[in-house]
Structure 1
Amino acid sequence: MADKKKKPTRVNARLPRGFVDRDAADLRAQDAMLATIRRVYETYGFEPVETPMFEYTDALGKFLPDADRPNEGVFSLMDDDEAWMSLRYDLTAPLARYVAENYETLPKPYRSYRAGHVFRNEKPGPGRFRQFMQFDADIVGAPNVSADAEMAMMMADTMEALGIPRGQYVIRVNNRKVLDGVLEAIGLGGEENAGKRLTVLRAIDKLDKFGVEGVKLLLGEGRTDESGDRTPGAGLSENAINKVVQFVIAPLGHVLTREPLAAGSNPVALGKVEGYLNVDNQAALQRLATADITSEQFQEGLTELQQIAAFCGAAGYGDGRIRIDPSVVRGLEYYTGPVFEAELLFDVVNEKGQKVQFGSVGGGGRYDGLVSRFMSQPVPATGFSIGVSRLMTALKNLGRLETAERPGPVVVTVMDRDRMADYQAMAARLRAALNTDADGNPTAEPVPVEVFQGNPKQFGKQLQYADRRNAPVVIIQGGDEKAAGKIQVKDLIEGKKIAETIEDNAEWREARAGQELVDEADMVEAVRAILARHAAADAA
């Protein structure tokens, strides 16, 4: 007996964990957001560049794990030449490779921006994705901290351009040299402690997520989360943990003022611009200046923070928008100097309906050694990255994301399959006329026009389709209209309004709500009139 043919196995449609699908409204909101950010970047003189999603793994940075298969933290594969390639972890390391390859032809300093998706092979969770978009800006070849100050100011400008008012965000600034000085003071200096220093820095970087007590656990024996997963700690002594908390984590507790200080009132010597510091920055710098830490790199980092605070204050950003904060770390190992984060201060509602503080939506810092990895000369650089996906989530929860639904397409319905050429000709005529002005130039916003491509047997299904697409107008021409040289133009929006006042089906059919019969030659003008009427109503 012959074996029965096995039915083909149906593939289960499922989205991989840590990844998301996005619909048209989300993508349009993202486009509007990127356009806003791009405009701010370009007002500071930055120009676009694009790098590929894949890089050779060794080009992505020394923060990657040293393993036979470098697939922890990143997604990697081996190409035909048996060379490891990885999906980019961020947009900074690929930029460093690009600059090194094109160093002789690029203007120095080189100002660039780029937007794109990055990939993290990490445990996904609420608000934590394996693929997300970043929008970076960097200055390569600028050794002075005035470039870092400019980055902090541009971050502030970007937040406000996106509709986040002053007082609901803060740009927090620190210096890795200051942090390294503190770690040296607790006995973690030297190359032999490099791994332990990185563990400590990553623990401090979790302050906004786990709080002081959670960070203390990460600095000590380790921390176990709600799922039972355990993160090994740095193994510091209780005394060392207390010192880290004292110099880095302890809150300042000072009230901001929007008034510049009187000249001479700042206890930290900043020369001619000392009066621009707000009291929060004044207190932070004073606290660091009086710390019992004498290492050269600590003092150098403190001086750079003083300069950044002064530059920002002199440019009009001394009102608390940019704040010196010793707890800012930034997790990546390649940062060598000033580091900064953009933090949202308002609460949002999470998936459980609980109010939570959203925290950081972007950050960056100075990475003077990253480009130099590819070259035989030092190349200073600084930059920052906005987490577009994360910031969009925050703005959406706050109701500040531009997600207004656009009008759908003008739909040309199909009454006779044999006349598809006629319907396509109508659509082409409408596209050409509705998407150009009187001088033949393209209009600012496209007006989509499409021919219905589904099963035309049931006309009601075509109208249902147009309604679901949010179509403002449908075009109807059956055999009788064609013979008479006429076209039915149906205003779906007006039709809905009229239909709401009619209860009797016979009356509804007789009313032909929102529908008018016009000559073929007048089709474009009839559609234009309907679209203009609705545009005026929306603007009113």
Structure 2
Amino acid sequence: MAKTKKQPRPKAQTPKGFRDYFGTEVTERAEMLSTIAGVYHRYGFDALESSAVETVEALGKFLPDVDRPNEGVFAWQETDDEGKGGDWLALRYDLTAPLARVYAQHRNDLPTPYRRYAMGPVWRNEKPGPGRFRQFYQCDADTVGSASMAADAEICAMLADTLEAVGIARGDYVVRVNNRKVLNGVLEAAAPLTEFPEGDDLRQSVKAAWDQVTRDAVLRTIDKFDKVGEDGVRELLGKGRLDASGAYIDGVGLTDGQAEPVLAFLTSKADDAADTLANLRAAVGESATGLEGVAELEQIAGLLAAQGYGPDRIVIDPSVVRGLGYYTGPVFEAELTFEILDEKGRKRQFGSVAGGGRYDDLVKRFTGQAVPATGVSIGVDRLLAALREKGRIGGTVEGPVVVTVMDRDRMAEYQAMVGELRQAGIRAEVYLGNPKNFGNQMKYADRRGSPVAVIAGSEEFAAGKVQLKDLILGAKIAENATLEEWKERPSQFEVDRADLVTEVRKILDGQGG
């Protein structure tokens, strides 16, 4: 008889690209999300919690293919009762695509405009890297059903208020605003169409070729403006340039005349919003699309100024080119401007923690009718990292008061103690391990970050007393407290059992002993 092969034990490890979060991290995130939700709620947005799973058809961005179905998302195909293939389902990759489906499905029951915020994990089946995980949190707020630029201005103002509410000081951030229509106008101004009359078939062919071949290359070059500057972009828009390593990078191939509107656009930012807008008008030339985008930015700037949001918080900035394939109008990005040290010890700015914009075509996929929408998404993990860099969070979180067990037969009395502490709003627990070794109980309290240990044996119960060990002071004494400080406030002392809650509260308030 063949010997049964022993089943190997599963490996205790997280899947590649995922991680576990423990006590302090979870608490810090929950507190930050609560603060953000408070700002969103104050602005009149309602909470929405949609399904973590959507059909691939509803997500819209990723479709099945032969080699790897639904690349970019975590997806699977349902089967019916007969084992035949059914719908493709996937974990959501953001919170905006589910919103479009929710609004299209429930629009008859929702107010218009519909203002919602949502918070939760999203999943992307992408190659993981340092600090880049396949599951991460997003925190979104969107207005669906309003074409007014007041909705976009409101999102920008709310984003600024949110950053300050969670602990990012004014001067450490800036919300930058641009408009996709402006950049579209710049590209139209740069396209080689002037020699062809309006409506000419050849003009349309040239425009199509420009859109397909050149547009993406120009956008990628614009995105390098912060790294290579005006001269570098000029070279990359033209024949090309040598990079720092000496390698030659081929350029887009624009003429000087075609590159000029792009460079004028990139260098149009001025100290005053009115000057920036004037420069943008010049950059887009006679493009109707571009002029419409500039007019929208002018409206947003005026609405923000009326509310007191100056350039120290929100600025018109043409360098914002994020998500241009997704957005249809204004786009915005929150950038943290303080410096940090990278892995090589070099100074650099922290960078972007949030972004968004207007996306008027997303709901149309379901309804066939254009539905205007605008919103913002905050990268929760990056914002938490920023707060840790600034020292706003990341300290030790105080653990529970630990009621030690000297006599396991008196467990009901120990539970009564911890019950009184909890009812008084004090975080507390009874030691539930083996009480035989008291030293292990104190090690447990130390590992839990406990501020106080409650100690009571038969003598204390008989006398109606309890011992309180001030673990906060005990740690300080172990470090550097003087003898006089130790005498003034001993780290362990006896109190009446009836005064347990009062005396523990004194220790927590720094007045015990």
Deviations 1:248-302 (A, max 9, x none): 43474x4x3xxxxxxxxxxxxxxxxxxxxxx1x2232111212363232122112
Identity %: 52
Change (3 A) 1:475 1:216: farther
How far, CA to CA, are the matches of 1:113 and 1:138 in structure 2? 6
Residue 249 of structure 1 aligns with which residue?
A: 266
Q: Does the CA contact (< 8 Å) of 2:465 and 2:494 recur in 1?
A: no
Deviations 1:383-442 (A, max 9, x none): 11111211221221122x23343332121223344554443344334433x23xxxxxxx
Residue 252 of structure 2 aligns with which residue?
A: 236
Q: Does 1:285 align with 2:301?
A: no
Deviations 1:109-130 (A, max 9, x none): 1111111122233333344333
Residue 38 of structure 2 aligns to which amino acid in structure 1? Answer: R
Residue 61 of structure 1 aligns to which amino acid in structure 2? Answer: G
How far, CA to CA, are the matches of 1:334 and 1:172 in structure 2? 18
Q: Does 1:362 align with 2:354?
A: yes
Residue 199 of structure 2 aligns with which residue?
A: none
Structure 2 gaps of 5+ residues are 81-85, 192-205
Residue 139 of structure 1: CA displacement? 0.7
Deviations 1:463-486 (A, max 9, x none): 111122122222333345556665
Indicate the SS of the match to 2:405.
Answer: coil
Residue 496 of structure 1: CA displacement? 4.8
Change (3 A) 1:482 1:178: same
Residue 197 of structure 2 aligns with which residue?
A: none
How far, CA to CA, are the matches of 1:224 and 1:96 in structure 2? 45
How far, CA to CA, are the matches of 1:224 and 1:85 in structure 2? 46
How far, CA to CA, are the matches of 2:34 and 2:343 in structure 1? 28
How far, CA to CA, are the matches of 2:352 and 2:36 in structure 1? 17
How far, CA to CA, are the matches of 1:38 and 1:327 in structure 2? 30
Residue 447 of structure 2 aligns to which amino acid in structure 1? Answer: R
Q: List aligned pairs for 1:18-417, cutoff 5 A.
A: 18-62=17-61, 64=62, 67-68=65-66, 69-81=68-80, 82-187=86-191, 189-190=207-208, 193=211, 197=215, 200-201=218-219, 204-205=222-223, 207-208=225-226, 236-239=252-255, 242-243=259-260, 245-250=262-267, 252=269, 254=270, 256=271, 279=272, 281-291=273-283, 293-331=285-323, 333-399=325-391, 401-417=392-408
Change (3 A) 1:2 1:60: closer
Indicate the SS of the match to 2:399.
Answer: coil
Residue 415 of structure 2 aligns with which residue?
A: 424
Q: List aligned pairs for 1:453-532, cutoff 5 A.
A: 453-482=432-461, 486-496=465-475, 513-516=491-494, 518-519=496-497, 522=498, 525-532=499-506
Indicate the SS of the match to 2:376.
Answer: strand
Residue 441 of structure 1 aligns with which residue?
A: none
Residue 378 of structure 1: CA displacement? 1.8
Q: Which moved more, 1:413-422 or 1:346-355?
A: 413-422
TM-score for the superposition, normalised by structure 2: 0.81
TM-score for the superposition, normalised by structure 1: 0.78
Indicate the SS of the match to 1:357.
Answer: strand
Q: List aligned pairs for 1:417-456, cutoff 5 A.
A: 417-432=408-423, 434-435=424-425, 447-456=426-435
Indicate the SS of the match to 2:278.
Answer: helix
Residue 362 of structure 1: CA displacement? 0.8
Residue 461 of structure 1: CA displacement? 0.7
Indicate the SS of the match to 1:334.
Answer: coil
Q: Does the CA contact (< 8 Å) of 1:169 and 1:343 recur in 2?
A: yes
Residue 372 of structure 1 aligns to which amino acid in structure 2? Answer: K
Deviations 1:69-114 (A, max 9, x none): 4443322222335322222222111111111111011111111111
How far, CA to CA, are the matches of 1:386 and 1:497 in structure 2? 39
Q: Does the CA contact (< 8 Å) of 2:54 and 2:98 recur in 1?
A: yes
Q: Which moved more, 1:459-468 or 1:291-300?
A: 291-300
Residue 194 of structure 2 aligns with which residue?
A: none
Indicate the SS of the match to 2:188.
Answer: helix
How far, CA to CA, are the matches of 1:496 and 1:29 in structure 2? 24
Residue 239 of structure 1 aligns to which amino acid in structure 2? Answer: T
How far, CA to CA, are the matches of 2:88 and 2:212 in structure 1? 26
